[in-house]
Structure formats: C-alpha cells, structure tokens
A and B are shown apart, each in its own frame.
Chain A
Amino acid sequence: MHEWALAEAVVSTALEESKKEGLKEITKIKLKIGELQQIDIDTFKFVLNEVIQPQNPMIKKAKIELETERGILKCRVCEHKWAFKEMLKKLDEEESESIHFIPEMSHIYMRCPKCKSPDFEIVQGRGVWIDSIEGEK
C-alpha cells in the first residue's frame, strides 16, 4: 500500500503551501492522478478522507478532487504517440507492479510500438500531481 506514502506527501505539501500563503484553512485540493502509477484510487481516497483529514484541523473540511490523467507516451526517435492503456494489457503482473512503484520502469518493460525504441517521453499521466490548493485566509 504505497498509496499511503503518496497521500501523506500530498497532505504534507498542501500544509506547507498553506503556511506559505498564510491560509487559515484549506478548503479544496485538486489532484491529477496519472495512469502510469496505477494508483488504487479507493485506497488513496480512503487514506486521505478517512485517515489523514480527520486528524488535521487545517485540512479537515477540505474537498479533495481527483482527476485521472491519461498516460500518453511519445517516442523521441520516430515521434509516434501512444496511450499507456493500450500497452498495459501486454504487461505481466510483475512488470506493471514495477511501473506502479517507479513509473520510469516503463522504459524497461515498454517499447515504442512503431520503432521499438525505449527512448520515449512520458508526455502526461506519470503520477500524482497537485493542480491547485484553495483556502481561506
């Protein structure tokens, strides 16, 4: 369950940011969840909403919005673009678990479908990203 570690990271960053901005209370956090990391959204939400939020007055009432971001990869050699989803089906359990922990492992277990190069860019949908934090001063 390393969703826990990522949820902790989100809250820790939000709290730090709210301190910087002089917020009294955080009301909303918008998150993007990249497909490559294959986060278990239910676990992630549970840890945020049921475990961490109730413990922290600053963030207790915050609405946390999650948006899944499609994983898009682009070959640096032939410029072909493809979706992570298409490829996920071909990976075995061990391979997709490695990408789940470290999305860059995709360069080991995936190749450009057109030219077979490992030299591709993760254009979007790598992992957890904080889009915005809102609050009351």
Chain B
Amino acid sequence: MDPRLNIIDKRLENIKRIVAVSGGKGGIGKSSVASILALCLSEKYKVGLLDLDFYGPSSHVILGIPTCNPCLTGRQASGRKDVYPKEEKGILPPEIYPPTSRRAGGIKFMSIIYYAKDNPLAIRGVDISNAIIELLAITRWDKLDFLIIDMPPGIGDATLDIIRFLKRAEFLVIATSSKVVLETVKKTIRMLKETGVSILGVIENMKFKDSLFIKEAINQFDVRLLGEIGFDKNVEDCIGDKEKLLTSRFAQDIKEIILDYF
C-alpha cells in the first residue's frame, strides 16, 4: 500500500478553491495565465501557486523567483533573495510576494524547480506521477483562498493525477484564436467532461483580431468562454518583474475575468 495517497486530501483541506490552468498544447499561455492570475488574485486573496509542468517549469521565470537553497549555496550573502521550502512536519511552500498594506494575500509557491534546479529532467510517465504524488503528499499548504496549478500541456499524467486526487479542482482551459489549437482544446474539454470534473471555462488568449469561432465551438460543449486576453506585445519586457506584470494589459484583461468569475 502506498501511504501517500491517503494524506493528499488532508494536505489540501485548508484550500477553498483549486484551479488547474490547462490546455492541449504548449506555448498557448498556460503558465502566463496561471502566474499572472495568481499575482492578480493575491491583491485580495491568499493564493498558492503550484507548477506541475515538470518538463518545462516556467512559473518561477515569469514571476522572477530565484529558487536555490540559500543554506547550501551560501548565495544569500551575494544579495540574491533565494526562496526555498522550509522543512516543518513536511515542506512549507515559501512566500514569494509578501502581503503589504495594499495587497492582502501573498503567494505561496511550490515547484519541482527547488529540487531540479535548472537541470533537464528526463523522466517517464510513471515517475512523473510518482513525483506529483510525493509533492502533493508532503507539501503543507497554509489556509488559501485559491490554489492555482500551472499544468503541463496535454491530457497525460499530470492531468490524470489531478483528476484522480484533486476531485474538487476546477479546470481553466486556455485556447488561442487558432484552428490548430482549437482541435486539441475540443479534445481536452471532451475528456474533462467525460470524467465529470468541473470546468470553470475557457480563456481565449493572444487574441489579435475579431473572430467568433472559438466562442461558437466552445458553446457547443456547454462550457463558458470566460473572456479574452489580447496579444500583449509588452508582456515579454515584464517577465520576471511582478510589479511590471501587474500593470500590463495582460493583467488588466485577467482582472476583468476575475471580477466576473472568481
């Protein structure tokens, strides 16, 4: 018997809502939406961010989080504010955006990156699944209003594990205004509906011209289009800088979606 499976629910019991940001393809903005959504929500809410994309972890890059273990590298002295999970009856995800008088929430961040560093991780599905279970079983989340999960592309191990272990997760599906992307988005939605998990809705990302085909296709599945995020040519210059990200067009578009649906 695997003792870890049983404890996962307990590790997540202090979390009000779990939102898994997914989509059938890579490069459509899952990590950007997950990270910036976490940033925007943290103005009002206590937020956790969990990066489950083990092949291409990105949330720490988007939010500019240095993630070495300061105790071991001694890099603290050089002025880098590295964060690393504390060990206390499990592991505690570090705070990466501490609350201030203007921001109520804060963001607790967990990722494989603390342990993998910037090394390539060549592992197979069973090992991915095992590592996900380990992370879920030993991470002790504080009281949170939202846990945002940055998912890998596709409907493989991570998606199946979230469906298996995080029964109350709500899926937020990212699409772009592309017929190629739409094809896999439809499959993702079909699979999610079949398994009976809850779908929060779809966000159409990188929108750069008027078109209705995503909206129409999604309506056929009885799923909501929550809104659009325009193609923001300035977002690249904001990567790694939380304050800049918060003032971007991208963040403005996300905030509108938050007002309506969160």
A residues lining the B interface (CB < 8 Å): 1-2, 4-6, 8-10, 12-13, 16-17, 93-94, 97-98, 101-105, 107-109, 118-119, 122, 126-130, 133
Q: List 27 A-B contacts (CB under 8 A).
A: A1-B87, A2-B90, A6-B138, A8-B7, A9-B137, A94-B69, A94-B72, A94-B73, A97-B69, A98-B114, A98-B117, A101-B91, A101-B134, A102-B135, A103-B134, A104-B123, A104-B127, A104-B134, A105-B115, A105-B131, A107-B127, A108-B121, A118-B122, A118-B123, A127-B134, A130-B2, A130-B3
Residue-wise interface mask of B (133-146) relative to A, using a CB-CB cutoff of 8 A (1 in contact, 0 not): 01101101000000
With known contacts A13-B3, A102-B134, A127-B134, A5–B119 Cβ distance under 8 A: no
Q: Which residues of A contact B114 (CB under 8 A)?
A: 98
What is the distance, in angstroms, from B218's C-beta to the closest C-beta of chain A? 36
| Secondary structure class of chain A's binding surface, majority of residues | helix
Residues of B within 8 A of A104 (CB): 123, 127-128, 130-131, 134
Interface size on B, residues (CB 8 A): 36
Q: Is B89 engaged at the interface, CB distance under 8 Å to the other chain?
A: yes
When chains A and B are docked, how far (Å) is the Cα of A12 from the Cα of B130? 19
For residue B6, CB closer than 8 A to chain A, the reply is yes
Q: Which residue in B2, B112, B120 is a CB contact (below 8 Å) of A102?
A: B112
Contact: B3 with A128, CB < 8 Å? yes
B89 and A1 within 8 A (CB): yes
| B90 and chain A: residue at smallest CB distance | A5
Residues of A within 8 Å of B134, CB to CB, are 101-104, 127
Interface centre among A102, A107, A108, A119 (most CB of B within 10 A): A102
Cα separation A133 to B6 with both chains bound (whole Å): 15
- 17 further contact pairs, Cβ within 8 A, besides A9-B137, A109-B119: A2-B91, A5-B138, A5-B140, A13-B5, A94-B72, A94-B73, A101-B134, A101-B138, A102-B131, A102-B134, A104-B128, A104-B134, A105-B116, A105-B131, A107-B123, A119-B124, A133-B1
A13: which B residues are within 8 A, CB to CB? Answer: 1-3, 5-7
